[in-house]
Structure formats: structure tokens, C-alpha cells
Chains A and B, each alone.
Chain A
Amino acid sequence: GAVVSQHPSRVICKSGTSVKIECRSLDFQATTMFWYRQFPKQSLMLMATSNEGSKATYEQGVEKDKFLINHASLTLSTLTVTSAHPEDSSFYICSAIYEKLFFGSGTQLSVL
């Protein structure tokens, strides 16, 4: 079946550094991928829709310069959290559609 691979699963970084999270569709091509953010004990909030070969579409309130999304190929989308701060600590999840929605395993970001 279709698999979405997300890497890394966990990252701890110092405040001010940038962190890149990768989302790959392993056995299908995904022209569109989605990035979600989830705080503890809360629901998933859509951050942005990543479109292959074009600019991402960001949800209201999501800082484009803080969360850089690149979808350079049909199998890879990346989310870069720039100049990370403790308030950016969260669980980030990507997803892609292949007949139905598949999710990556998520990335737990902790900014010290």
C-alpha cells in the first residue's frame, strides 16, 4: 500500500537554529502534500498545502517566512522551521493523497 515517510521522527534544537523536516511519498507521486501541526492533547491544524512546482498555500495565521515549504519533486516536500523558538515546539505531520489520505509518522520538534 501507499506509504508516506517523514523524517526525522524527533529533533531537539537550540533556539535560533533552523530545522528541516522531510516528507516523502515512497511508492506514489504526490502533486499535493499537506502539513499539519499538533499541540499536546489537541487536534491537528492545517498549516499549509504544498504543491509540486509551485508556491505553497498557507493557512491564515501561519507565517510564511517562519515555515518554509518546498515541494521540488513529485515525491518530496520539505518544511523548514526557520530561526526556531520554544513556541515552535510541536508535533508536525505531513500527509498525501493516493486514493485516500495517508499520513507520515510525524516529527516531534523540541526547541530549547
Chain B
Amino acid sequence: GIQVEQSPPDLILQEGANSTLRCNFSDSVNNLQWFHQNPWGQLINLFYIPSGTKQNGRLSATTVATERYSLLYISSSQTTDSGVYFCADLEGGKLIFGQGTELSVKP
């Protein structure tokens, strides 16, 4: 099955800073998604982005399917952005998650 690798594993930011999270995959992906898990465990679907670029407020994501990677951009980070960001591919009806990037935004 497909392997999903995320980098960096951890990231500490000062409030207001920008960041880029990366997701590499070992094979073609068709249903790449980004999720945010807040410190209390709740998972939120951020983007469904099999290719191209999407933006939602301070967040945007880009997937370059031919090069097997996706990027999540967070601009003007806020403390509420803290948590773990996962990318995942929906393969055969199942979500295959990367290991996540744990983001901590300091005030």
C-alpha cells in the first residue's frame, strides 16, 4: 500500500509567523486530504485536494500529483492553530494517514 510521509514532525512557531507543512507519498494519490487534530483530539477536515491549489482563509494547500507531494500553508499563525496536522489518502475506501506534524504556536 501507499506510504505517506510528513515533515517536519514537530514545529514551534511564534504567533503571526507563516509555515509550510509537507506530505510526500510513495505512489500516485487520487484523494489527498488534510486534517487538523486539535489538542483535545477533535479532527477537522481542512482540504480535499487531489491536485491543484485551494485556499480557505489563512490556510491554503497545494498538491502536485505528478511529483507525489502536497503542501499545507499556514499564514499569520494563531495559537488556535496548534495541534497535529495530518495528510491522508483515501485508498480503497480507507484513509491512509501520515504520521502528522505537531504544531505549537506560542503567543
Give A residues with C-beta under 8 Å from B: 32, 34, 38, 41-46, 49, 91, 93, 95, 100-103, 105-106, 108
What is the interface size of chain B, counting residues whose CB is below 8 A from a CB of the partner? 18
Which of B18-26, B40-48, B62-70 lies at the binding interface? B40-48
* Pairs across A and B, CB under 8 Å, 23 listed: A32-B93, A42-B99, A43-B86, A44-B43, A44-B86, A44-B95, A44-B97, A45-B97, A46-B94, A46-B95, A49-B93, A49-B94, A91-B41, A93-B41, A93-B43, A95-B95, A100-B45, A101-B90, A103-B44, A105-B41, A105-B42, A106-B41, A106-B43
What 9 pairs between A and B have smallest CB-CB spacing? A103-B43, A106-B41, A43-B97, A43-B99, A44-B97, A105-B42, A100-B45, A46-B94, A101-B45
Give B residues with C-beta under 8 Å from A: 33, 40-45, 48, 86, 90, 93-95, 97-100, 102
A102 and B45 form a contact (CB under 8 A)? yes
Please classify the interface of chain A as helix (H, G, I), strand (E, B), loop, or mixed, using the class held by over half of its residues: strand
Of A43, A45, A91, A101, the contact of B100 (CB 8 Å cutoff): A43
Contacts of B94 in A (CB 8 A): 34, 46, 49
CB-CB nearest in chain B for A102: B45
Most chain A beta-carbon contacts within 10 A, residue among B41, B90, B95? B41
Contacts of A46 in B (CB 8 A): 94-95
Q: What is the CA–CA distance of A26 and B85 in the complex, to the nearest angstrom?
A: 26
Q: What is the CA–CA distance of A5 and B40 in the complex, to the nearest angstrom?
A: 15
